[in-house]
Amino acid sequence: MTKQQSLRSMIDVALGREKADFVFKNGYFLDVFNGRFLAGDVAISQGKIIGILDQYHGRQEIDLAGAYMVPGFIDAHTHIESSLLAPEQYQQLVLSKGTTSVIWDPHEIANVAGMEGLQWALSAIENLCLDVFVMLPSCVPATNPALEFETSGAILFANDLKLFAQYPRVLGLAELMNLPGLFAHDPDVLEKILLFSNAKIDGHCPSIRSHELNACKSVGIHSCHESTSFEEAQEKLTKGIHVLIREGSCERNADTLLPLLNAYTSSMIAFCSDDLKPNDIVKDGHIDFIINKALRRNIAPEVVFRAASLTPAGLYGLKNRGAIAAGYCADLCVIRPREDNWQNGMQIEKVYKNGRLIQENRLSCIQNTPFSVKHNMNLEDCSADQFQIRACSRDADTQRVPVIGIIPDQILTEKLMLELPVKNGEIQVDLSKDILKIAVFDRHHRSGFYTVWFVKGFGLKEGAMASTVAHDSHNLIVVGADDECMARAVNQLIQENGGLSAVNGAGEAVSLALPLGGLMTHENTDQVLKKIEQLKQFIHQMGCPLKEPFLTLAFLALPVIPSLKITDRGLIDVERFEKVDLSG
């Protein structure tokens, strides 16, 4: 069919002269523009919505039997790498949950593999059923390399991003994390903003208020997913910055921020997952999980579904998505209120992508984007001796030191000052107070850089756990109750070319290999889920109570999220934006 023939056919279907490919009947569809559910037909042809409300006939007619139809959900900000799955496996999970489009910031793979990683990401999304749009990583690494806060696998400057800016699925610049650089007029940060001045620029503004927030908006930052308090998010709305309500595996902000959502604010609020593990997608859901939370708060369904579809579509300029109207992509969810009451949440019956019925576990998962990344583990095997921490005085019994304090379900940390025991001139862990050792090793350049210090909140009574998923530079991070187990957990990952590992006090080990940059795998999703569950159970048996221990661990190396973080170059006080002097 030629393009003109296609247009003629669409016109004739819309006018009722020709049958549609299929028509939904006897149900209700959401009019997102007026905020109401309407009874009427919805006609689909060529993967698009051709007509609504009026009567149509189709080659196939689908009886909705009183069900409701809403636009497919849009995840306004995510890192697919956090699912540990390659994109062709990831789509299997989220499409079945009603998500038909995602906005991907591939800064994890870019931090590991630079321009090669970005090229792979853009190739990996080409033949998917799921629509994946890309915001180019703004901060690779997350901090100015001149500060020497961390060792990243790559550095991307404005000129590097320019090569990718014209790709059809690239929408703009992803979360601008280097706000100190912005406020200090860092030339490369400003050049990136200028490069995308006519596109979209996402923000990354945790606890940013007052004049600094105005500065962010004035340079074109249009959204932020980092709000953790009602007042913080409300100020962002007041200043014209879209609030993306996040519900990830580690960062859960929906309960705090959903009270902001109403008919007035729904044009400025969208939903996102940011970092979500595959087991949580299977168990809880994806964007539908936030939707159900909102519905159970008695927020009007018309408002909730608008925030899940039309608002993010408008925010990112996706003009043919987010609504049920002629000319829009036939990305649709057929749903019902649970027990006939929206306050009980909703139940998804069917999902359609471009007019195609999605059947769980029946999408093609052909690996069509091989990734020849450099060797993931460029470091030597380590020994227990490397985890020793010398005290200021060999004769002291204790030493007061700064300690990273974990806040459950948040990526923010506390800066604690605690007294730790000293033995034979070395500062010791204190399991009775839940204080363990934590270390980060450069795995990219064989530089030999590493830092060992202390963390409180993991609850381990024995053993260690290690990961090559450590935002954003993704060096190797390990936490443990004793030095021997920490060394064994690190060496396990060196052998497996990256991944997740845990070792208990008896020397038993469980691991998940992640050969795609030390971040992802092409392995079957069911097998990945099984191994993740084995790891979690194994770690919980060692005493860790955290719901997502590896995700909590991963964010402890991100030196742009307050308050205290650790990298291969040292302990970082994020609020003061400086290294902490560990010499005593």
pLDDT at 251: 84
Query: Does domain 3-66 fall into CATH 2.30.40.10?
Result: yes
Query: Does domain 74-324 fall into CATH 3.20.20.140?
Result: yes
Q: Is the peptide bond before 472 cis (omega within 30 degrees of 0)?
A: yes
Residue with token string 């963390």: 455
Helix, strand, coil percent values for the chain (each to nearest 5): 30, 30, 40
* CB atoms inside a 10 Å sphere around CB 203: 27
- Torsion angle, CA of 454/455/460/465, rounded to 10 degrees? -80
Query: What ranges do the domains of the chain cover?
Result: 3-66, 74-324, 384-579
pLDDT at 360: 63
pLDDT at 59: 98
SS3 306: helix
Alpha helices for 1-86 (secondary structure H): 3-14
pLDDT at 366: 43
Low-confidence ranges of the chain (pLDDT < 70): 360-375, 584
pLDDT at 250: 78
pLDDT at 367: 45
pLDDT at 409: 74
CA 340 to chain centre: 33
pLDDT at 371: 54
Residue 252 corresponds to which amino acid? Answer: R
| Integer CA distances (angstroms), 473 to 44, 114, 205, 442, 476, in order | 45, 11, 19, 9, 9
**Which parts of 121-236 are beta strand (E)?**
131-136, 170-176, 200-203, 221-224
Q: Is the peptide bond before 563 cis (omega within 30 degrees of 0)?
A: yes
pLDDT at 439: 99
Q: Does residue 463 come out as left (phi exceeding 0), alpha (psi in the -120 to 50 range) or beta?
A: left
| Pairs from 571-574 (Cβ < 8 Å, separation ≥ 24) | 571/402, 571/404, 571/451, 571/453, 572/149, 573/415
Q: Are 381 and 389 in contact (CB under 8 A)?
A: no
